[in-house]
Amino acid sequence: MAQSFPYTYYACDCYDNNTSTSAKRASQILAEADEEDRTFDPRNPRSNYALYPLEHLLYCDDCQQIRCPRCVIEETLNWYCPSCLFEVPSSVVKSDGNRCTRNCFNCPVCISPMTVNSIENPDAPSATGGPYILACPYCHWSTIETGIEFEKHTGVHGQLARVANGGTPVPTPKEREKERERRKEFEARQRDSRNLLSPSQDSPTSDLHRDSALPSRDDVFSNLGAFYKSQIEAQTPSNPFSAHDLNFSSPSAYSRIMNLYSSAGAKKQKRGKPSPMREAASELEGLHVYDTVSDNAAIERIKRDGWGSTLSQTQKLAQIDPHANFEDELRPIATLLCTKRSKRCRSCRHILSKPESKITSTRYKIKVLALSHIPRLSIRALPNNAAPSTPSAPSTPAFSQQSFSYSNLRSGIPTHFLLQLSNPLFDNVRVTLATPSTTPGKIQTRVTILCPQFEVGANTDVWDDALSSSVPSATRSSAADGQIEAGKIWDRGRNWTSVVIEVVPGFLRPITGFGQADQADELDEDDDLLEIPIFVRLEFETEANAEERGLGDSRGSKGEKEQREAAFWTVVGAGRIAAM
């Protein structure tokens, strides 16, 4: 997700953890050891799936680990339409295909939600206030363009299902069946008559439908469906496992039970190789024959109307009918449903988050956030007035400006950032930071953390802070004297500490005459992005929790402390290096 500078992403190492140790081969372990030595590379393609902002991470208390969207299991609590916020029962979701079946539609041209508008003639008002149309408030597409109007302003989904583009009614399944029967008969008669008459005398009373355009996709589908149904019925006249006739004491139920208990011989008999079903052989059976006529027609149409009348790839993909090619084939897109989901830890199955099931509620029954278990790492440019004059500071007007321009970092000029850790835990934390001396990637930026080891105070009550005088004064902050000094923290508060990090942004183009001609290859997008991988290691003592130690473990008596440790990679986006 695009975030403005500066930002911090946390790396979840769930990918490495997922391969269980037992399944590892020696070579893998070796490779992993190698990996240990390597620093985290935010440019690695895999990193895309490992980096998350802190708000998106959960925390498993049992595993004592960050849980990212990849290492949780999601369980759908309920479905709802994001537009009308109607909760859809799960049974309906299955039958209606995950879409809103009320009045919610998206524009097939621009995807914006559509509105039901009345196009009532004010001079001749109708009883229902109609006719109505679906119209896009953004790009002004409306169902008028495809010749569809509605009588009522409710149940548009149902009304739309009954009308094809151009305003012609869509036949119901029953009508389709009748039509099929009729045509079958007709064809049979035709065949008979053809046998009698000479082939040249083709039926003068040609069916209307034969002349009309190709069968619609719905027609083909229903034909094919009917064909397969008849085939299956022909194959297995009384399938004992058929779900339809499992009545108590029905013959099929009886034969099913007999099959279950009877000897293997009977089973073998039953499993006799079924004769292969034939495939659809005619249009009436759902066979879709490719014909060049429709292609030629499409080409002619593009010649006549231009590309403007065709659909874009995105528009095509959003359509239910994959063969829609032209503007007049567009159908409003029923809005896709959303879900509310609870999340479990993938390894221990504990619930990490569970929202209240009511659609309108935004509260959570359970929510274990990483935010409240690991420190928040934040970065910002060091306010310039406090920064001592780096030799080149006066010559860079951008730095003296009040607002620091993160997207315009100057190559080769040392820039100071403040890295602040805020501790959500109720214990003091010893922090060790580490970073590669140069950032990975084509542009090598030198990074130095001036004070890589420090302590962050506990997240005690604000009042405790005021009452106690135990604030360690040994490490005086350098913010007071405004002097950046290696090995000293910059500033600290009740539960936060900030340190200075010095960055010398690399050069986008190699400096000529430096013998770096081999690096002259083109820069990719985002190569000028300055992302600093920082390894964070925490050590803290916390009260051992009897619950967590498991039953029967008496060590966890109150007051006993245990040493804990946590470590993770973070990536700090400090800005963009300006092109020179």
Partner 1 sequence: MSAQPAPSRPGPDRRSSTVPKRTSILPKPSSIALDPSVLIAQHAQITGTHPITLGPNTVLHPHSRISSALAPVVLGEGVVVYERAKVGVGLGPDLDAESRRSSMRSSGGTIRSDGVVLGRNVVVEANAIVEAAEVGEGSVVEVGAVLGRGCVVGKYCTISPSSIVAPNTRLPDYTVVYGGSEHRLDKTLQLRPEILDAKMAVHRKQLEMFKKLVPNQVAKWTV
Partner 2 sequence: MSRPAARKAAPKGEYIETDSGNKVSRRSAITGTANITLGGRTVIMADVQLRGDLHPTRSVPSSSGKEVTPTSISIGRCTVISTGSVIKPPCRISRGQVHYYPMKIGDNVFVGANCTIQAISISSHVHIGEKVTISPFAIVKENVKILPNTVIPANMVIASGSVVGGCPARVIGEVGEGWGASGGVAGGGLGVGGGGEEKWVEGGDLRELVRSIK
Q: Which does 370 bind (CB under 5 to 8 A by kind): partner 1, partner 2, none?
A: partner 2
DSSP H/E element including 59: strand 58-60
Interaction of residue 530 with partner 1, rule CB under 8 A:
no
Beta carbons within 8 Å of 505's beta carbon, 6+ residues apart: 409, 410, 411, 412, 413, 415, 443, 445, 530, 577
For 546-573, what is the HEC assignment?
HHHHCCCCCCCCCCCEEEEEEEEEEEEE
Closer Cβ to partner 1, 147 or 225, answer by number: 147
Closer Cβ to partner 1, 272 or 308, answer by number: 308
Near partner 1 by CB under 8 A, which window of 118-126, 243-251, 264-272, 299-307?
Answer: 118-126
Closer Cβ to partner 2, 82 or 412, answer by number: 82
Instruction: Choose among 139, 144, 179, 181: nearest CA to 163.
Output: 144
Closer Cβ to partner 1, 124 or 293, answer by number: 124
Closer Cβ to partner 2, 280 or 371, answer by number: 371
Q: Which does 141 bind (CB under 5 to 8 A by kind): partner 2, partner 1, none?
A: partner 1
Closer Cβ to partner 2, 141 or 227, answer by number: 141
* CA pair distance 152, 128, nearest whole angstrom: 7
Q: One symbol per residue from 126 to 165: x for binding partner 1 (CB under 8 A), - otherwise; what is it?
A: -------x-x--xxxxx-xx--------------------
Q: Which does 403 bind (CB under 5 to 8 A by kind): partner 2, partner 1, none?
A: partner 2
Closer Cβ to partner 1, 120 or 539, answer by number: 120
> Where does this chain bind partner 2 (CB under 8 A)?
1-8, 52-58, 80, 82-85, 110-113, 115, 122, 136-139, 338, 343, 353, 362, 364, 367, 369-372, 376, 378-381, 403, 418, 420, 422-424, 459, 493-496
Q: What is the dihedral of CA 544, 547, 551, 556, to 10 degrees?
A: 20
Looking at the DSSP assignment, which residues form a beta bridge with residue 351?
344
* CA 431, 436, 442, 445 torsion-angle sign: positive
Q: One symbol per residue from 428 to 467: x for binding partner 1 (CB under 8 A), - otherwise; what is it?
A: ----------------------------------------
Interaction of residue 241 with partner 1, rule CB under 8 A:
no
Shortest distance (Å) from residue 410 CB to partner 1:
23
Interaction of residue 109 with partner 1, rule CB under 8 A:
yes
Cα separation values, 542 from 66, 137, 421, 426, 561, Å: 18, 58, 19, 8, 5
Cα separation values, 328 from 294, 321, 500, Å: 15, 13, 62
Q: Which does 53 bind (CB under 5 to 8 A by kind): partner 1, partner 2, none?
A: partner 2
Neighbours of 434 (CB within 10 A): 15
Q: What is the dihedral of CA 469, 470, 472, 473, to 10 degrees?
A: 20
Q: Which does 315 bind (CB under 5 to 8 A by kind): partner 1, partner 2, none?
A: none
Cα separation values, 562 from 61, 329, 518, Å: 15, 68, 54
Find the binder of partner 1 among 110, 170, 393, 566 (CB under 8 A): 110
Interaction of residue 119 with partner 1, rule CB under 8 A:
yes
Shortest distance (Å) from residue 135 CB to partner 1:
7
Shortest distance (Å) from residue 1 CB to partner 1:
20
Shortest distance (Å) from residue 12 CB to partner 2:
13
Q: For residue 70, give both structure tokens.
A: 């990849």
* Max CA distance (Å), the chain: 113
Shortest distance (Å) from residue 423 CB to partner 2:
7
Q: Which does 379 bind (CB under 5 to 8 A by kind): partner 1, partner 2, none?
A: partner 2
**Subset of 285-344 contacting partner 1 (CB under 8 A):** 308
Beta strands in 423-480 (DSSP E): 429-434, 446-449, 453-456
Contact 115, 134 (CB under 8 A): yes
Cα separation values, 117 from 142, 158, 331, Å: 9, 17, 17
Interaction of residue 121 with partner 1, rule CB under 8 A:
yes
Tokens 């009511």 -> residue: 358
* CA pair distance 459, 471, nearest whole angstrom: 13
List residues binding partner 1 (CB under 8 A): 109-110, 119, 121-122, 133, 135, 138-142, 144-145, 308
